[in-house]
Chains A and B, each alone.
Chain A
Amino acid sequence: MSEPIFAYIAADSAWNGAPTVLGQSQGVTMPQTPNGSLVLGYFNRSTQNNAGRLMVTSGGSVPLPLNVPALARAISIYLNNWGANNLNVTNVSVNTDTPIMVEAFGPGIPGAQPMPLAAGTPVQLALGQAAQGTTPPSWILLSLTSNSATSETLAVIGGPQDATGNNAYVIGLNADADTGPPPQNPPPPGYYATRTGNTYSLQFNWSAVSIYVANLSSQTAKPVTVLLQSL
């Protein structure tokens, strides 16, 4: 009899998004994803120079491979709206010594317990930390600032969905190019905008919304200051 396509050993068949380390051939299943954008973070924890790979499936969709670079000490992220379908993430790395940490980030997802984000009060976020607050129903300036030159990646979730069902914004600071929505240069895949400088301001008027910010930078990056201002 033939082997199953993926030698699937469920590490957690009712995964709620909390940080989980997957050994080779292990997987997690989130029975129902949010019906909005969700950030899947993953991180190769192998001490050896073992490039890893995850395979992501949802419903009957074609499996999506995600390369997980070896020795990188930064969270890789994949942003998507799986539309309340299930989500399976399986470690299909070729070397047995390739543990991969996976974590889902988003409002209401266990794992990163968000700290309060109040208008006018800056909050410092270290790697893996999140903040969440409710905006006043007016124009808002969300400032992301790093007082260093280290590369930073932040995910912001909130506001109305666009035509593709996305309502998340991944922003890079101290990146190697200034990019963003038109007419700026197109951002790298997965990003909404990047800045070569150490600050970015997102301006919006989404009425009173719950807004969520997570720091998905590298282990050696400095913390990022997040400030929500009512204009």
Chain B
Amino acid sequence: MSSKPKFQVLGAALSTTTWDGSPVTISPPDGVTMPQTTNGSMVLAYQNNATMNNNGKLALTSGGSQPIFLSVQALLMQPSILVQNWGANNLNITNISPAAATPIWLEAFGPGLPGQKPVPLPIGTPIKLSPTAVAQGNSSPNWMQLILTSNTSNLTVLSIIGGPEISGSNAYVIALNSSFGNTGPGTGNPAPQGYYATAGGNSYSLEFNWSSSAVYVANMSPSTAAQATVQMISL
């Protein structure tokens, strides 16, 4: 009689059915499922760990939504990120890369997610964040300034989560030393897709008044980037 049919279902959780966002590496055709996402912005980071020149691909599904396909560049030593609010729905991520030797690292970043140990982000004292390190602190109920600085010309990418939702998002992805130059609010230039703002220079200042709110900062820079300096000031 015929052999057992072989097929692959997008979003099928073949390796981890209760993914909590901790770092995990999946090879095709494995996937992970987060049973319930946060009901606010979450940063999904992914990186191609293939040693060969293998471009990769992920498929994302949530609820009954159409799959989203993410290309995962080969040989890139920088997390790619997708910031989204999946509204407490489930999230399935499947490695559908055509080449078998395409392991892809995944991690979900956001306040309270496992797998991360945020360092304290005090008011008034600058801290250093290495790539993939995170920090979290509480703002004062007044105007605040968050200063992001890199003392190099290295591309530096930081994700900030906190404050009220605006159009369903309360995350801000900001790049320093960006080849896009100065973009985002106040510059007259739209920010590239996925970013809130970019700076052609090595510093950016985010002013906000979110009352007393937890402020979460994750360094999503390339692995060879220098540390970023983050300072929260009460104005």
Do A and B share a complex? yes
**Which residues of chain A have a CB within 8 Å of any CB of chain B?**
32-38, 83-84, 106-109, 134-139, 157-161, 165, 167-168, 205-212, 230-231
| Interface residue? B52 (CB, 8 A) | yes
Q: Which of B55, B73, B99 is A32 in contact with, Cβ under 8 Å? A: B99
What are the 10 closest A-B residue pairs judged by CB atoms, nearest first? A208-B222, A36-B53, A108-B52, A108-B51, A84-B98, A137-B155, A84-B99, A208-B77, A137-B222, A210-B75
**A136 and B51 within 8 A (CB):** no
A32 to B75, CA, bound (A): 18
**A108 and B225 within 8 A (CB):** no
User: Per-residue CB proximity of B123-157 to A under 8 Å, as 1/0?
Assistant: 00000000000000000000000000000111110
With most chain A CB atoms within 10 A of its CB, the pick from B50, B76, B101, B152 is B76
Q: Which residues of A are found within 8 Å of B92, using beta-carbon distances?
A: none
* A182 vs chain B, min Cβ distance (A): 21
Known A-B contacts A35-B98, A137-B225, A139-B153; A208 and B76 likewise in contact (beta carbons under 8 Å): yes
**Which of chain A's residues has its CB closest to B156's CB?**
A137
| Interface residue? B78 (CB, 8 A) | yes
Q: Which residues of B are found within 8 Å of A139, using beta-carbon distances?
A: 153
Q: Which residues of A are found within 8 Å of B153, using beta-carbon distances?
A: 138-139, 230-231
Interface size grouping (class) on chain B: 20 to 34
A167 to B75, CA, bound (A): 10
**A157 and B53 within 8 A (CB):** yes
* B99 vs chain A, min Cβ distance (A): 4
Q: Which residues of B are found within 8 Å of A205, using beta-carbon distances?
A: 155, 179
Known A-B contacts A108-B50, A109-B52, A136-B154; A36 and B74 likewise in contact (beta carbons under 8 Å): yes
**B177 and A158 within 8 A (CB):** no
**Which of chain A's residues has its CB closest to B99's CB?**
A84
**A84 and B54 within 8 A (CB):** yes
A51 to B102, CA, bound (A): 39
A230 to B55, CA, bound (A): 25
User: Per-residue CB proximity of B210-234 to A under 8 Å, as 1/0?
Assistant: 0000000000011111000000000
Q: Which residues of A are found within 8 Å of B50, using beta-carbon distances?
A: 34, 108
* A132 vs chain B, min Cβ distance (A): 9
Q: Which residues of A are found within 8 Å of B156, using beta-carbon distances?
A: 137
With most chain B CB atoms within 10 A of its CB, the pick from A84, A134, A157 is A84
A139 to B51, CA, bound (A): 23
**Which of chain B's residues has its CB closest to A85's CB?**
B98
A208 to B179, CA, bound (A): 14
| Interface residue? B56 (CB, 8 A) | yes
With most chain A CB atoms within 10 A of its CB, the pick from B53, B73, B99, B177 is B53
**Which of chain A's residues has its CB closest to B50's CB?**
A108
**B76 and A206 within 8 A (CB):** yes
**B78 and A107 within 8 A (CB):** no
| Interface residue? B95 (CB, 8 A) | no
Q: Which residues of B are found within 8 Å of A35, using beta-carbon distances?
A: 53-56, 74, 97-99, 102
* B67 vs chain A, min Cβ distance (A): 19
A211 to B177, CA, bound (A): 21
Q: Which residues of A are found within 8 Å of B221, using beta-carbon distances?
A: 137
| Interface residue? B88 (CB, 8 A) | no
